[in-house]
Amino acid sequence: MSKVTLSDSREIEIREPLVRDILAVKDYKNEEEKGVRLVGNLTNMTPEEIGAIKFKDFALLQKELGDFLS
pLDDT means per 10 residues in the chain (70 residues)? 96 97 93 94 96 96 93
- H/E segment holding residue 68: helix 55-69
- What pLDDT, on the 0 to 100 scale, is given for residue 67? 94
- What pLDDT, on the 0 to 100 scale, is given for residue 54? 97
- What pLDDT, on the 0 to 100 scale, is given for residue 4? 97
Which of helix, strand or coil describes residue 42?
A: helix
Q: How far apart are CA 2 and CA 25, in angstroms?
A: 21
- What pLDDT, on the 0 to 100 scale, is given for residue 70? 86
Please state whether the predicted TM-score (pTM) of the whole model is above 0.85: yes
Interior/surface letters 18-40, b for 16+ CB within 10 angstroms, e for the rest: eeeeeeebeeeeeeeebbbbbbb
